[in-house]
């Protein structure tokens, strides 16, 4: 168990458009989900922590109005990149932890390219 999926795996969009990325825990309920971004040859940088039914907590320097997070159920969180620009191009990865467990299980990631 502990499978996390992301959709889409790849997205290319024009500058100024919005992109939504879904993160689902397939075989467990996740009270908490996390969103990361990763630049080439760098480690993961946490963007925000998402709790089901409440507002996300954003890390310092992450624009909450640009990266909208919704955690509507115990198995689904979404990240919407609004008015995307080329500098938003990156690898976005979500993770989820089972209720009562510290271990985070990661999704396969979504590659975003903004032209």
Site track for other proteins across 43-72, x = CB under 8 A: xx-x--x-----------------------
Instruction: Name 19's Cβ contacts closer than 8 Å, sequence gap at least 6.
Output: 11, 13, 80, 81, 84, 112
State which residue, 24 or 109, has the beta carbon closest to other proteins: 109
Q: Is the peptide bond before 70 cis (omega within 30 degrees of 0)?
A: no
Number of residues near other proteins (by CB under 8 A): 23
Q: For residues 1 and 14, which CB has a smaller minimum distance to other proteins in the complex? A: 1
For residue 22 the two structure tokens come to 């879904």
Those residues with Cβ within 8 angstroms of residue 64's Cβ, 6 or more apart along the chain or in another chain: 48, 56, 58
In this structure, the number of other CB atoms found within 10 A of the CB of residue 44 comes to 15
String of contacts with other proteins for each residue 7-46, x by CB under 8 A: -------------------------x-x-------xxx-x
Q: Which residues bind to other proteins, rule: CB under 8 A? A: 2, 4, 6, 32, 34, 42-44, 46, 49, 91, 93, 95, 97, 102-109, 111
């Amino acid at each position: 168990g502990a499978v996390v999926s992301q959709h889409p795996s790849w997205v290319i969009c024009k500058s100024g458009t919005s992109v939504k990325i879904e993160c689902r825990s397939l075989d467990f309920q996740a009270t908490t989900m996390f969103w990361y971004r990763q630049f080439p040859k760098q480690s993961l940088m946490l963007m925000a922590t998402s709790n089901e039914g409440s507002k996300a907590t954003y890390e310092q320097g992450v624009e909450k109005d640009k990266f909208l997070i919704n955690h509507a159920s115990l198995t689904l969180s979404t990240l919407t990149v609004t008015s995307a620009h080329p500098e938003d191009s990156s690898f976005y990865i979500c993770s989820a932890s089972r209720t009562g467990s510290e271990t985070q299980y990661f999704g396969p990631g979504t590659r975003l390219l903004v032209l």
